[in-house]
Amino acid sequence: MHPMRSKSTTSLPLCAAAVAAHAAIGSTSLTPVSSFAKPSAPLKARVDCDAGHTVELVALDRDAKEIARASVSAGEVDLLALLPAIAAPAQALRVQLIVDGTAQAAPLLVTPLHGRPTIRLTNAMRADGKTPYTRVIGWGDRLLDESNAEYQKLKLAWPSADPAPCSGLRLTLDEDVVFQTTAGDIHIRMRPDEAPSTARNFVELARSGFYDGTPFHRIVPFDREGRPFVIQGGDPTGTGDGGPGYDIMLEPSSLAHDFGVISIARNDWPDSGGSQFFFCLSKEGTARLDGQYCAFGEATAGADTILKIADVEIADIATGKPKQLHFVTTAKVVPALAWTPGVGRADTRVTIPSRTTTPNATTTVDDR
C-alpha cells in the first residue's frame, strides 16, 4: 500500500505540557457530557473550576479566530444555548475554557456530521507514461484544478452531486497522539478541521493500541527527482498490505503535504485507506499528493526522529523495505494544548533541519 495507501520554561516535553495544562488552576477542566447532538438538540459539557475565578467559554475557528464568547459557572452547560453561533459550523471548531483571561486545559471539538461530497474521478497516467491510475479531480460541483480544460469538459457531464446534509454535532475532547519510536518521539497534532473522520480513526486506533509494535515498513528517502519523499507505517504485518480490517472513505482535505505532515496511505482506489499512514519528508517531493491523499495531522515535535527513520539503508528498492526497521513502540493519546483566542496553540508544525544526505542508488526508490 503506497502513499498512493512548545516547551514551557521548565522544559516539559509536549505530552507532559499538555497534561500539565489540565492542572494549571486547581481542578480546571472542560469535558464532554453529550457525545452527539441531533439537529436542535442540546450539546452538553461540564465545566469544573475552583470558586473565585472568572470563567468563560470561547468558540474558535480553525485559525483561532473568535466566533462567540460567554461567561459560565462551574457545572453542566448547554453549549448551543451559550454559544448559538456554533450550531451550524462548516468545519470542526473548538470551544476553549478561559479562566481569569488565560486559556486552560484542552478545548472541546465540535464536529459537524456532514455527508461526504460526491467524489469526482477520472483515469490518468503516471509520469512514466505506462502506469494508469485513478485520479481525484473534484468534489461535489468543484474542480480541484479549474484551469484544466480537459477536466472542465468532464465536469459538464457530471451527474448532480449527492446531498450532504448535516446530521448533527459530535462533541469530543481535542486530543493529540504521541508516537514513542525506536528512533525517538513524534508528537502529532490532529487536523479535524480538514479531515475529521480520518483524524478520529487515527486517534481511536492509537488509543486501542493498534499501532504499538508496528514498523515503519516503507522508506522512500528521495523520489526519482531527488526530492525527499515519505516514511510509511501503520501496518501490523509489515508487508504493506495489512490494515485494521476495514476501509475508510477519502476526505477532501486541503491541508498541503509538507515536511512533518501525516497523511493516510491507500491503494489506487480512493476509499482504500485504513490504518497505514505516511509522514512527508518535504513539500517539494510530496506536493503532487495534494488533493489525492488525505492529510489529517502534523508533527509538532520530532523532526529529528522523522529524519532518523528516513536515514536507513534500503534492502528492497522496489518496495522501500529498509534493512533495519524502526518501530512505533507505543502510541499514546494525550490532551491537546489549550488554544489562545487569536493565537491558537503554543506549538507549531516542525520544520525540516539542515540535511547532509544526497540521493543515490540505494536511497532513491519507487515513489509511486
Task: Write the DSSP string, 266-331.
Answer: B-SSTT-BSS-EEEES-HHHHGGGBTTB-EEEEEEE-HHHHHHHHSS-EEETTTTEESS--EEEEE
Whether 140 and 226 share a structural domain: no
At residue 362, the pLDDT reads 47
Its domain, for residue 21, covers: 14-114
Whether 136 and 68 share a structural domain: no
pLDDT in tens, 169-221: 999 999 999 999 999 999 999 999 999 999 999 999 999 999 999 999 999 99
At residue 360, the pLDDT reads 47
Distance in angstroms (rounded) separating the CA atoms of residues 52 and 58? 19
At residue 336, the pLDDT reads 98
Distance in angstroms (rounded) separating the CA atoms of residues 151 and 143? 8
159 domain-assigned? yes
296 domain-assigned? yes
Grid coordinates representing 32 are 464532554
Distance in angstroms (rounded) separating the CA atoms of residues 178 and 185? 7
Low-confidence ranges of the chain (pLDDT < 70): 1-26, 355-368
At residue 192, the pLDDT reads 97
Domain with residue 251: its CATH number is 2.40.100.10
At residue 140, the pLDDT reads 96
314 domain-assigned? yes
Q: What is the total count of domains within the chain?
A: 3
Give the strand pairing for 261-264 and 228-233. unpaired
Whether 240 and 316 share a structural domain: yes
Beta-carbon neighbour count of residue 152 at 10 Å?
12
Grid coordinates representing 200 are 478520529
Distance in angstroms (rounded) separating the CA atoms of residues 151 and 245? 34
218 domain-assigned? yes
At residue 21, the pLDDT reads 44
At residue 275, the pLDDT reads 98
At residue 164, the pLDDT reads 84
